[in-house]
Amino acid sequence: MAFTALSKEQIKKDSEQQLNTFKRTKDFLVAIDTDGCVADNMNGKQMLIFQPQYLEFYQLWELESYFREIAEYYNLFSVHRGCNRFLAYQFTVKALYARKDVQKIVKEKGIELPDIKALDDYIEFCSKNKLGLGHPSLEKYLDGQPFNLSLYKLLGWSEAVNRTFPYVNTKIPPFGNVRESLELMNQYADVLVVSQTPYDDLLNYWQDQNIAKYIQIIAGQEMGNKAHHIASVKKAGGYKDNNVLMLGDADGDLKGVKANNGFFYPILPGFEQNSWNDFPKNFGLFTDGKYAETEKALIKRFSEVLLPTPPWEKAGYDHVSAYREKQEARKVLYSKLNPNGRLLKV
């Protein structure tokens, strides 16, 4: 089954059509994430796009260091890494409301925090109606309450993020050995891209980098979560449990494939190139039915990389020190890709 791109109209009408009508061509199924997994673009997207766009839309620049620290924790360094953008910012805004040091500044400076209820209600609406968190479902939700200005702001922020992506994404190539690994996978497996990034952004990246020829389907946030992506294709193709593998860099990737009784190969955050260098050997173990013990060791290492508890909830926490720990990474990204961008110097 050759890769065929979906149009915006097809996504809006029936975003899951390719998942449910998938035809198996190989014995194995490989699901693969993109951001932070295929390419080292997680930091860039968050620090250069998601964060400043949110700070601008909601006028939170006076809380910049706190906002960046919290958003980076949930999106990059915690067990929530790679989760849907709306969930990540639900976590982030709730942390702003919960932190006493933040609330002190909010009261002193008269800062208005974002309307968390609008976001909560939208996420609950999607959960109840089994809809993916993304623009199609947000627009559908808006149809039922067209004068909810908080929802328009939420949509505006998300659309602004999407429109900025190409200026960062296309400049970041895949990790070394990704192309060779995709060629190897393609010999034995049907390859499915699963992500909580919007479809168009995924499509642009895979096509711009000339690697879409190795895959059969792209499943973005409009098609539901990663567990649903895998479940739909696994069912349509009739793959055996032990013949399903997920490559990812986040806890959601692990949970997504384990909900479908498949195997997981972690692309370790901070050690991504090592993971790709080791992939061919481990993929051979997978196709030979000998991967189970290796997987246990890799998952144990993976569990040690992502943080389960926010630093601000630990004893001895100091905000300025915590912010400075990641400042060099922020400065490098800004100097390369947005030298005139707004970044708090602490």
Least confident of 4-18, 64-78, 215-229, 290-304: 4-18
pTM of the model: 0.81
Banded model confidence at residue 112, pLDDT cuts 50, 70, 90: very high
Report the C-alpha gap between 257 and 190 in whole angstroms. 15
Q: What is the CATH topology of the domain spanning 8-40+176-303? A: Rossmann fold (3.40.50)
Q: Supply the pLDDT for residue 1.
A: 63
Contacts for 346 with CB less than 8 Å, ≥ 6 apart: 65, 320, 323, 324, 327
Summarize the confidence of residues 260-267 as an average pLDDT.
98
User: Angle formed by the axes of helices 292-303 and 272-287, to 10°?
Assistant: 160
For 122, 167, 197, the CA distances from 207, given in Å and listed in that order, are 32, 15, 15
Q: What angle do CA 210, 48, 63 make, to 5 degrees?
A: 160
Report the C-alpha gap between 311 and 143 in whole angstroms. 40
Residue 279 structure tokens: 């992939």
Tens-place pLDDT, residues 161-195: 999 988 888 788 999 999 999 999 999 999 999 99
DSSP one-letter code for 260: T
Give 166: exposed, middle or buried? Use CB within 10 Å, 0-12, 13-18, 19+.
middle
Domains of the chain: which residue ranges?
8-40+176-303, 42-169
Report the C-alpha gap between 39 and 47 in whole angstroms. 16
Q: In one letter, which amino acid is 257?
A: V
Q: Give 311-337 as a DSSP string.
A: GGGSTT--HHHHHHHTHHHHHHHHHHH
